[in-house]
Amino acid sequence: MRKMFSGESKVFYLYRYISLAGTSLVYAIEDRGPPLSLKIGIILVLFIFAKWITDMYTQSGQASRTIKITVGLEMTGMMILHLLSGGMDSPFLWCVFNPAWMAASYLSSVYCWFMMLSYFLFVTAFSYFFANDQTQSLATMLLNENRFYLMLLFMTLSIQLLAGVKSRLEIANARTTETMEHMKSLYQIVEAATHSESENLKIIFAEFALKLTKLKMSFFWDVNGSGNGGHDHLITQGITPVGVEASLSTAIEIHAAELRQLDSCMVMSLPEHGDFLVIPIKSSTRFWGVMGVKVERSSYEEGRHWFVKQLYFLSELCAVILERHQLERIENQLMIIEEQNRIADEMHDSVSQYIFGIVYAVHSLSRKWKDISTDQIKEQLQIIQESSVAASQELRSTIYSLSSRKNGGAFWITTVKSHLDSLSKLHAVKVTLNVTGDDHGLQVNYQKALFRIISEATGNAIRHGRSSHIKVDLSMKSDEVKLSVLDNGSGFSVTERLSDPKVSGLGVNNMELLVQSFGGTINIQSTKGKGTHIQVTLPSGHQDKKELNEIQMMG
């Protein structure tokens, strides 16, 4: 059965009561038929019956069986009404379009035509046997009432035709919605992957597998995962039963050779934990791991094509992004090596020459200073001084070329302001940024993490919260960094959002992972209709303390 939309319901109920009121008025003022008091009684009963039937339609929702029973009851009521009000001469004949409309729009064609045929036979038989005063033949009577029957036939066909068009439009709309969801998911995955470290990518893709398939459990098995046990390679999301991680890791390792050669999905059955739909993640040059979801046998049979399509989509995207991150790491390493070689060449060609000259001059002067005059000593010292100044200038030039702070280049906070300005102009949203402290002492990894958190928080406030004003406060001190992002958006229930893995946004999870990696804290306060407030605190000395502990352990 097709779903009844609110707009269609309003039109249907409007036609129901208007047609009933019009025909009741005609029935009441016409001369023939029972007395006026009885007519009024019939009309009141009819309105009560119509109200009861309307309530049944409203409460039935999408229950096909309930709709069928209600349509049958209404059609029976229409037959009795026609029997009491004159058969084919009854003014209530046009009210039969009410159940006909419902049957043609929301039930099967077979049931619709069965109801219409039953009505046709009943009214025709009653009119022929009980209301045929002139003893007309059946053919003559049908010809006399052909307009009504043809109108009933054409109206039913028209309603079914429109219902068919509507059904095809619903299918097209569902496909469009599915395509938009794919595009939205693609955008979210790429954005989350861009703003995450490579070690967090597996978690992100496992979360998206859970989100897209709408199942209860997903996983990512990393072939390069660290740890001694096989289950240390496995990342799970959603509801994870006890013992499933170890069993799943063992099964994947047993089928690892087969999975490396696989190009599509396969079903992996675990005796105690059910069935898992898995797909390898591999590029043209490398095997990254395995992604999968836990499927129930019934849901898998119904949505097999859908689950396979979603996992294939994710596996291809995951392989591309992992390959890109790997290439970026190699590119960064090559850039560092190239920069090291450039600095070494500059130091060798300029500074080292000056230092060599200074060392040679000092050595020569220390051997001959007793044998040369004071003027010659002053001359040698002047040369050493000039060489020292030249070496210092070369060093300063090299340092200035590498430091944006020294050469007047863009600071990190300038990049943040530029990003927020672009966001404000693009979405017509007011974004204010208040900064206290100096960002030049902020380590690069802190700058990257804070920029990602600011981008995610402001992006979510615009996309999901529909905010019109966002306030960002950033305080940088020697011992800690505090970030506050406050918006006036629609807000949400923090408890519900974080407790349900299918509802919880990837942005929130990414922010939590980033903050935890720096030993910081994150506090999210939000109320529906009152906006969201995100507070982040990062200890500035966390990385330094970690490195100091490692040095002490090594020593």
- Who wins on pLDDT, 135 or 285? 285
Q: Contact 479/442 with Cβ under 8 angstroms?
A: no
d(C-alpha 461, C-alpha 204), whole Å: 20
User: Six-digit token pair at 471?
Assistant: 């306030």
Q: Which letter does DSSP use for residue 409 in this model?
A: -
> Which segment of 204-218, 403-417, 426-440 scores lowest on mean pLDDT?
403-417
Question: Please, which pLDDT band fits residue 63 given cuts at 50, 70 and 90?
Answer: low
Q: Which residues contact 514 (CB under 8 A, 6 or more apart)?
A: 449, 452, 453
pLDDT band at 431 (very low <50, low <70, confident <90, very high): very high
pLDDT the model gives residue 14: 77
| Res. 483: pLDDT tops 90 | yes
Instruction: Say how far apart CA 85 and CA 473 lie, in whole Å.
Output: 77
On the 0-12 / 13-18 / 19+ scale of CB atoms within 10 A, 516 is exposed
How deeply is 123 buried, as exposed, middle or buried, from its count of CB atoms within 10 A (0-12, 13-18, 19+)? buried
Across the range 364-391, mean pLDDT stands at: 81
Query: What's the confidence (pLDDT) of residue 501?
Result: 47
What pLDDT does residue 1 have? 41
Asked whether residue 205 carries a pLDDT value surpassing 50, the answer given is yes
pLDDT at 229 over 50: no
The C-alpha atoms of residue 249 and residue 412 are separated, in whole angstroms, by 43
Confidence class for position 188, pLDDT limits 50, 70, 90: low
pLDDT band with cut points at 50, 70 and 90 for residue 535? very high
Please check the confidence at residue 488 and state whether its pLDDT lies above 80.
yes
Residue 109, C-beta contacts closer than 8 angstroms, at least 6 positions apart: 160
Q: What is the pLDDT of residues 190-200, one digit of tens each?
A: 666 665 566 66
User: What does DSSP assign to residue 269?
Assistant: E
For the cut 70, the answer to whether the pLDDT of residue 201 exceeds it is yes
Residue 150 and residue 142 in contact, taking contact as beta carbons nearer than 8 Å:
no
CA atoms of 281 and 205, how far apart (whole Å): 11
Query: Higher-confidence residue: 387 or 64?
Result: 387
State residue 228's pLDDT score.
43
> How far is CA 343 from its chain centroid?
46
* Lowest model confidence (mean pLDDT) among 165-179, 245-259, 384-398, 405-419: 405-419
Q: What is the mean pLDDT of residues 443-453?
A: 83
Which of 68-72, 271-275, 385-389, 469-473 has the highest mean predicted lDDT (pLDDT)? 469-473
Residue 542 confidence class, pLDDT cut points 50, 70, 90: very low
- Angle, alpha carbons 171-172-175 (nearest 5°): 90
What is the 3-state secondary structure of 423-480? Answer: HHHHHCCEEEEEEECCHHHCCHHHHHHHHHHHHHHHHHHHHCCCCCEEEEEEEECCCE
Q: Is 309 exposed, middle or buried, given 0-12, 13-18 or 19+ CB atoms closer than 10 A?
A: middle
In which band, very low, low, confident or very high, does the pLDDT at 3 lie, cut at 50, 70 and 90? very low
| pLDDT digits 0-9 by tens, 28-49 | 887 777 788 888 888 888 888 8
pLDDT of residue 337: 84
Residues 6+ away with beta carbon under 8 Å from 232: 225, 226
- CB within 8 A of 3, min separation 6: which ones? 62, 170
Average pLDDT of the chain?
Answer: 76
Place of tokens 């994870």: 240
Average confidence (pLDDT) over 38-67: 76
- Pairwise pLDDT comparison (176 vs 504), residue with the higher score: 176
Q: In the predicted model, what is the mean pLDDT of residues 223-240?
A: 68
- Tens-digit pLDDT profile for residues 454-479: 988 888 888 788 889 999 999 988 88
pLDDT at 137: 74
More reliable by pLDDT, 280 or 397: 280
Lowest mean pLDDT among 221-235, 265-279, 295-309, 344-358: 221-235
Average pLDDT over residues 340-362: 74
pLDDT attached to residue 469: 93
Q: State residue 400's pLDDT score.
A: 66
Written as six digits, the tokens of 393 are 């200038």
Return the axis-axis angle of helices 6-29 and 97-106, rounded to nearest 10°. 160
What was the pLDDT predicted at 551? 37
Answering whether pTM is above 0.85, one says no
Give pLDDT, residue 259.
87
pLDDT in tens, 94-146: 677 778 777 777 777 777 778 778 877 777 777 777 666 656 677 777 777 67
Which pair of structure tokens corresponds to residue 378? 């002053």
**Cα–Cα distance, 91 to 82 (Å, whole number):** 8
pLDDT at 548: 41
pLDDT band, residue 368 (cuts 50/70/90): confident
Neighbours of 435 (CB within 10 A): 14
Give the pLDDT of residue 447: 84
Residue 319 and residue 300 in contact, taking contact as beta carbons nearer than 8 Å: no
